[in-house]
């Protein structure tokens, strides 16, 4: 949340957080399936 508040003046903080959370493996089946599994996990916890 702090990175979001700082982003208008210090976008580097937000960019580094996002960079660490993203992947370049967009065509990787295993990565795709993990994404689906995680999405169900978050739905169960609501």
What's residue 42's pLDDT?
66
At 25-40, the pLDDT tens digits run 888 899 889 888 888 8
At 2-22, the pLDDT tens digits run 888 877 888 888 888 888 888
DSSP 24: S
| pLDDT for residue 46 is more than 70 | no
The CA-atom distances, in angstroms, between 45 and each of 31, 32, 42 are 21, 21, 5
What's residue 29's pLDDT?
92
pTM above 0.85, yes or no: no
Label residues 6-44 b or e (16+ Cβ within 10 Å = b).
eeeeeeeebeeeeeeeeeeeeeeeeeeeeeeeeeeeeee
Which residue has better confidence, 44 or 10?
Answer: 10
């Amino acid at each position: 949340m702090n990175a979001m508040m700082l982003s208008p003046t210090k976008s580097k903080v937000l960019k580094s957080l996002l960079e660490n959370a993203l992947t370049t493996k967009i065509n990787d089946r295993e990565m795709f399936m993990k994404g689906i599994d995680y999405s169900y996990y978050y739905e169960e916890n609501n």
